[in-house]
Amino acid sequence: MQEVQSRTGGRDVEGQDRLTELGRSQAKVAQVYQERCTKAVERYFEAVRAAGEPLRDGSVRSVSPLDLWRDASAYWLDFTQRSILFWDTLRQRGNNWVEHEKAGKPPLLAFDWEIVADARLFEQPVNYALVRIVPPAGIKTDPERRPFVIIDPRAGHGPGIGGFKEDSQVGVALKAGHPVYFVIFFPEPMPGQTLADVSKAEAEFLRIVGERHPKTRKPVLFGNCQGGWASMLVGAVEPDLVGPIVINGAPMSYWAGNDGENPMRYAGGILGGLWPALLASDLGAGTFDGAYLVENFEYLNPANTFFTKYYTLFSKIDTEPERFLEFERWWGGFFLMNRQEIKWIVENLFVGNNLAAGDAEWSEGRAFDLRSIRSPIILFASLGDNITPPQQAFNWVADLYPTTEALKANGQVIVGLMHKSVGHLGIFVSGAVAKREYKHIVDLIEYIEHQPPGLYGMQIEEHTTDEGLRYDVTLTEMRVEDLQVLQKYSRKDEMPFEAVEKTSEALASAYETFVHPFVAPMVTPAAAGLARGFNPQRVQRWVVSDLNPFFWPLKGAADIAKANRAPRDNDGPAVKMERCAAALTTASWDLYRDLRDAAVENTFFRIYGPASIGMVEEKKAIGEELIDIRNASFVKEALSRIEEGDRTRAMVRAALLLMKAGTGRRRLSAMKRTRELVGQDIGLLDMPIEAARDIIREQSYIVDFEPVKALLALPKLLQTSADRRRLLDMIDHIEGRIEANAKQIALLGEIRRLLAEDESPGKPKAEPITLTLVEREAEEHPGVGVKHGSARRASGTRRTREHP
């Protein structure tokens, strides 16, 4: 009886604790909602005050009635002409859209191209193709230089964003002399194709590129947005075909983000998960319309969607149309997916967040394991991106590798680059980003494969010299644990998304059982095509085109307006009032957006927050799994060979010991100088990159786990005096030419002492004078006792890989 009462009392206490935690969390949700609404209103009134400031400076009141009349007359003539030109530009946009549709929506690349392989003809056909970019006049590429393969996002729009301008990813790679290939896709999916089929086709493309360039290293894979995780899938399925992977603005950890900043992450929960995508596919006769995805993007910023982009065109009608029409050609190209594809994406990524957890299956019982990727990975994200925020671009690293030691133990090199302000589309289309970030990414790729395993932050530094502005790239060693600063609340706010996943599964199952059998047979392909034509995203384009006879007179009127453009006073009272009205309109839309997003977020956590309370307790009960990385087979194997090796391994070990004694910062300019000075002496450049990486990985384990023994064993790797002399010559060659701190200078002296030619190889050596320095480094980063705290890994299914 006492035992029963004890258990009952324990449950009561546990229930009370959960109620207390629930009350606390809901109070926090209410507080955050109130703060967000208050700040939204404050921002609105501040914007209103700023908008009216030009009208209160006294210049408007000091204008005489006659001058006011003249200004108003000139303004209204200009306003009329701008209105005609504005609507004519929209008519041109509509005509461009109609012509693009008739042409089959070809890729909108700024470069000529030719098809190399059409996956519609593969044994398992998919609507993808590999094309070779033809270098423009004046640019030559070297077929023996490493090729680049760029995968564009298939997220509603068509291909081309990676080569949309001359200053783009394509343009930067071409100017550097690399052959460039582009993965395009066609508007209609092939019957029955799956995302796994697409990944296999893209892997085949890489195999073809490798065969076309047999004398080069493996192709560099660039993935943009959705193309980023597509690139990672290819790297996981066929790791032997892929060189360095660069993923730009790519969402990988879909639950991540911060409250008040990333409203798109709540969409799946508010809509109920997967079933709306299934319904949309059934209404499309088994095809999902990419225009729905574009609407999601436009939902984020209604001010720009409904007003700002059009007002910018209207206010700059003499200079803006070309840029507007160029971008709208891409933005208005809506591509399709089949039902299985969008189901996999929503179920495994948007709602399930299964990719980093290793639960995203590409066939029954076979999941994509991103730890299979052996190539270095560069992640490029921006703090100004609200579609793929940095948390979604980087948090998967911490999901996959809970500690720095786990990342190193898998032999992985990951480099992160963060832009401070550019928006999502700017990551791909900004010419400034192409000239700065992508240029230096391309430059770094030639050196990244010879970096020891670890996580690095990449910074692009500007230096003013007599010759002008000069850039340098710095890699700074980081710890995976540092990624926690990207997200508030230690990621506890991701727990309600697990409840969303379970809700989605239940609703999708109900839909498939009770709704799908009745809806799907009722919709014919012809009816679905007609419905797509009347999607608002398309209607706004074809209605304002020459298909509409009401707009036929516009061209003639626009020609007259251009021929008789009347100047206006850009600082006059009428223009100031126009700008004030525009700023007030934008501020009103922004207020609506802020209040709407706050309400959506509040609703989300009110609904799903209570369900996550139990999950917190469940995770605590599971506990953390302690894994000793030092005892992993590949680490033990490396440590067993501390006293074995050759001159190349000795030189690599010496370099790694010097790096360990350094500041953790490595400049690209220093890497280039080092390669010029001693690159050929080390021997890594003459061997296959896989063999070189194996040596670097093995020696990095030895230096990380046993730095003292690694130093003392150096002479045993250099059996002949000639080998010792080669290493000493290398040290002499670089000393004074490469930046070094006091610790590194002391270590250089110690290596000289150990390898002194006048010492007999068998003679016992005194303790190194820098031994305490190396020991201290070992104590700071011992690399043992790694904890895997993720609930998905606690069952033991996500242990550290046994093969690096």
675-726 tens-digit pLDDT: 777 767 777 888 888 888 888 889 888 998 888 898 888 888 888 888 888 8
pLDDT at 49: 94
Count other C-beta atoms under 10 Å from residue 595's C-beta.
15
Task: Enumerate the domain spans of the chain.
Answer: 1-57+571-623, 113-258+347-493, 630-784
Q: What is the pLDDT of residues 245-258, one digit of tens each?
A: 999 999 999 998 88
pLDDT at 736: 67
More confident residue, 615 or 341: 341
pLDDT at 81: 96
What angle (nearest 5°) sits at the alpha carbon of residue 188, between those of residues 197 and 537? 125
Averaged confidence pLDDT in the chain:
86
Does the pLDDT value for residue 151 go beyond 90? yes
Q: Is the dihedral of CA 760, 762, 767, 772 positive or negative?
A: positive
Record: fold of 113-258+347-493: Rossmann fold (3.40.50)
Looking at residues 278-307, what average pLDDT do you find? Answer: 95
Question: Which pLDDT band holds residue 531 (cuts at 50, 70, 90)?
Answer: very high
pLDDT at 613: 66
More confident residue, 654 or 306: 306
Contact status, residue 87 vs residue 551, Cβ threshold 8 Å: yes
Does the pLDDT value for residue 762 go beyond 80? no
How far apart are the C-alpha atoms of 788 and 399, rounded to whole Å?
9
pLDDT at 757: 52
pLDDT at 18: 65
How far apart are the C-alpha atoms of 182 and 17, rounded to whole Å?
56
pLDDT at 26: 83
Q: Which of the 8 DSSP states describes residue 340?
A: H
More confident residue, 512 or 356: 512
In 3D space, the residue among 171, 126, 114, 122 whose CA is nearest the CA of residue 148 turns out to be: 171
How far apart are the C-alpha atoms of 228 and 151, rounded to whole Å?
8
Does the pLDDT value for residue 741 go beyond 90? no
The CA dihedral of 698, 704, 710, 712, to the nearest 10 degrees, is 170
What angle (nearest 5°) sits at the alpha carbon of residue 357, between those of residues 631 and 602? 135
Q: What is the pLDDT of residues 438-476, one digit of tens each?
A: 999 999 998 998 899 999 999 998 877 767 678 889 999
pLDDT at 633: 76
Per-residue CA distances from 446 to 142, 263, 441 (Å): 15, 38, 9
pLDDT at 789: 40
Lowest mean pLDDT among 257-271, 364-378, 756-770: 756-770
Q: Which of the 8 DSSP states describes residue 643?
A: T
Does the pLDDT value for residue 783 go beyond 50? no
More confident residue, 657 or 40: 40
